[in-house]
Amino acid sequence: MGDATMSKPVPVRHLHVGPEFHAEQHIHPEPTSFLSRYVFSKDHKVIAKQFLWYGLFFLVMGGVMAMMIRWQIAFPGTAFPVLGQLLWPQSGGVMPPQSYAAFFTMHGTLMIFFAITPILIGAFGNLLIPLMIGARDMAFPTLNLMSFWTNVLAGLCMIVSFFVPMGPAAGGWQSYPTLSTLVGSPGHGQTLWILGIFLTGSASIMGAVNYITTVVRLRAPGMGYFQMPLSVWGIWLTAILNALFVPVLAAGVLLLFLDRVFGSHFFLAGASITKGGGDPVLYQHLFWIFGHPEVYILILPAWGIVSDLLSFFSRKPAFGYKATALSMSVITLLSMVVYGHHMFVVGMSPLLSQGFMTLTMLISIPSAVFFLNWLGTMWRGSIRFATPMLFSLGVVFVFGLGGLTGLHLGAISSDIYLHDSYFVIGHFHLTMAASVLLGAFAAIYFWFPKMFGKMMNETLGKWHFWLTIIPITIVFCGMLVVGYAGMQRRLYNYEAYEFLKHLHPINVWITRAALLLGASQFLFVGNFLSSLISGKKAAENPWEVGTLEWTIPSPPPHHNYDEIPVVLHGPHEFNNPAVTGKDWLAQDEPIGDEPVALGAVGN
């Protein structure tokens, strides 16, 4: 069939581009002052880098907290090395229970809203959308600038909350009432948490409006929705979910704020108040209406990026490109109607629970479709095991584990046993922590040359991969095991319970693996910084792939494209038999002397 393409006359392609379309994307002169260039920049590439640094900062912070939480679980009553003495001198370096609760709360909050979201959505959303669809910048550059700085304010709220009396929020990352009301958390930490979430939510909404509009309006001529790289698909669907559901969280935390500061009692019931009657479960509804789409908000960009990278490094077109894009879209739709599976134990109507269970189970169908497409993409490919590919394979592996364990939690009968156990922790870390983290590393290793114009060190990258994937699997699979054995989450000292004492050895091993995981990230930090300073200079297209960002210099000029490219192919044109001399084809590159009538382009 491949030969048929060569012998058949290629039809002349006609492009119709209205003048209005071109009028929209002016080339703006590059800003010259330091502030407008690096601090308050409107350039999507600079904002992407700001988000990357911002996210990496909170990734370190959240990671260190995870180490301390694990230390307390495995070695209760012993001082955390070095940092323990600084943080808790009064207890001789041992983490007190209040700090434990605060740390697992802030670990979740910071990782989800301030590490993963800025890195994958903030940094790679900003970097990739305009570059990959052939645009000069985002649709609303000023809004983009505001989105980043609103996020910084939110981050400051969170950091400040560590220094107020009674410490930061300690009611879990969901901040359920009554834990999060004045009854459970009288300090200012929880109030600052609410402000931080409200601000970062506003920033997410600004970003989402910008991303959706950019994809809808600024695609280069010829770039239909089904010529977009799957990375853009993933980020775009994430933006849609953000636009729809972050506002519901905003409404929820607004009511919580009023409860705490202005004395209303939306979420207080029973003996906590004297009159009226609020409903703590109402908060859970508002939270999970947002919260379930949120897990897809986090994972969709990683799915998209991995779908592209698997094709790039297998030197094959993505298997079932359209099916992957559509199954991600179907999951996006389904994610809106399954939130009740987080609340099976609150005493919902069984009929409603069964509906939520059925819809939840339906998600496994589109998930299986794109998962098999990933395997199909690699099948018989000429795989190049570069670092980004290794991390993508890591995502396939941990996401497979995480996805399968999700079925146990989606089914009511097994969920009632597993609810609030370490099985849940293991499951969601495999899906939205391990998968997303490995996906973020894949993206950083892959696009680092385009962002900074330097290559990262491959040897260090491979060491980093193996020293990450092995401990990360042990950590989260270990959690599945202890959870299945009945260990509840959020226990300060599980050994106080006789029936959990025998889990000590496995908990110690989880902690050892976690410490190794933490330590091996120094390889990444070292690689990142040394490559930034003295990395090998990156060529225009070091990975030999065809998406549009690799047709322009590394790093790209301020306005990205001198001429808006005209897209002729899909994003994964590998080993096209009509192309000789190389196995890839840029999206805007004509095959041989293929006739293309450019219509009004260039007028």
Partner 1 sequence: MNARPEAAYAPAPAPLTEPTFGTATTGKVGMWIFLVTDAMTFGGLLLAYGILRAGNKEWPAPTTVLGIPFTAFMTFVLIVSSLTMVLGLDAAKKGDRREAVKWLVATAGGGVFFLCGQVYEYRHLIHEGFTLPSGNFPATFYVITSFHGGHVFTGVCYLLITAFGVSRGRHLENGANFVEITGLFWHFVDLIWILVFTLVYLIP
Amino acid at 328: M
Q: Is 277 in the site for partner 1 (CB under 8 A)?
A: yes
Decide: is 196 part of the binding site for partner 1 (CB under 8 A): no
Stretch that binds partner 1, among 204-212, 409-417, 511-519, 555-563 (CB under 8 A): 204-212
If one asks whether residue 282 binds partner 1 (CB under 8 A), the answer comes out as yes
The distance of closest approach from Cβ of residue 420 to partner 1 in the complex, given in angstroms and rounded to an integer, is 23
Nearest approach, Cβ of residue 180 and partner 1 (Å): 16
With vertex at residue 16, the alpha carbon angle to CA 12 and CA 21, rounded to the nearest 5 degrees, is 145
- Distance between CA atoms of 203 and 405, rounded to whole angstroms? 33
Nearer to partner 1, 222 or 402 (CB): 222
What ranges in 315-418 are assigned the alpha helix state H? Answer: 321-334, 350-362, 364-378, 387-410, 412-418
In the complex, least distance from residue 466 CB atom to partner 1, rounded to whole angstroms: 31
Say whether 596 sits in a helix, a strand or coil: strand
199 binds partner 1 (CB under 8 A): no
Residues 6+ apart with CB under 8 A from 137: 25, 42, 43, 44, 130, 559, 560
C-beta of 78: minimal distance to partner 1 in Å?
45
Q: Write down the least CB distance from residue 262 to partner 1, Å.
A: 5
Closest to 129 (Cα-Cα) out of 48, 209, 215: 215
Binding of residue 563 to partner 1 (CB under 8 A): no
CA 206, 210, 213: angle at the middle one, nearest 5?
Answer: 140
Helix (H) or strand (E) holding 13: strand 13-14
**What dihedral do alpha carbons 578, 579, 581, 587 form, nearest 10°?**
-170
SS3 of residue 331 by DSSP: helix
| Binding string, residues 364-403; x marks residues near partner 1 by CB under 8 A | ----------------------------------------
Which runs of E-coded beta strand occur in 146-197? none
Which residues, at least 6 apart from 423, have a Cβ–Cβ distance to it below 8 Å?
405, 408, 409, 479, 480, 483, 484
Please give the residues from 570 up to 589 whose contact with partner 1 meets the rule CB under 8 A. 570-573, 575, 577
Instruction: Give the nearest distance from C-beta 434 to partner 1 in angstroms.
Output: 29
Q: How far apart are CA 65 and CA 477, in angstroms?
A: 20
Gyration radius from the chain CA atoms: 25
Please identify, using beta-carbon distances, which residue of 8 and 533 lies nearer to partner 1: 8
Q: How many residues of this chain bind partner 1 (CB under 8 A)? A: 76
Q: In terms of CB distance, is 339 or 423 closer to partner 1? A: 339
- Read off the DSSP letter of residue 6: H
By CB under 8 A, tell whether 15 contacts partner 1.
yes
Q: Between residue 304 and residue 333, which ones bind partner 1 under the rule CB under 8 A? A: 316-322
Site residues for partner 1, 143-182, by CB under 8 A, read 143
Give 164 or 323: the residue with its C-beta nearer to partner 1.
Answer: 323
263 near partner 1, judged by CB under 8 A: yes
In the complex, minimum distance from the CB of residue 220 to partner 1, in angstroms, rounded to a whole number: 8
Applying CB under 8 A, does 205 fall inside the site for partner 1? yes
Query: What's the Cα-to-Cα distance from 427 to each of 272, 364, 501, rounded to whole Å?
Result: 34, 15, 23
Report the site for partner 1 in 21-40 (rule: CB under 8 A): 21, 24
CB of 338 to partner 1, least distance (A): 17
Binding window for partner 1 (CB under 8 A); candidates: 113-121, 272-280, 339-347, 473-481 = 272-280
Contact (Cβ atoms closer than 8 angstroms) between residue 324 and residue 373: yes
Nearer Cβ to partner 1 (3/593): 3
* Minimum distance, C-beta of residue 121 to partner 1, in the bound complex (Å): 15
Regarding 436 and contact with partner 1 (CB under 8 A), the answer is: no
Candidate list 209, 330, 337, 491; residue touching partner 1; CB under 8 A: 209
CA distance 509 to 493: 16
Q: CA-CA distance, 102 to 62, in Å (whole number)?
A: 12
356 binds partner 1 (CB under 8 A): no
Contact predicate 453/535, CB 8 Å: no
36, 78, 91, 213: residue in contact with partner 1 (rule CB under 8 A): 213
**Tokens for 548?**
């549009």
Q: Which stretch binds partner 1 (CB under 8 A): 29-37, 386-394, 501-509, 562-570?
A: 562-570
User: What is the nearest approach in angstroms of partner 1 to the Cβ of residue 347?
Assistant: 13
**Interface mask toward partner 1 for 216-255; x: CB under 8 A:** xxxxxxxxx-xx---------------xxxxxxxxxx-xx
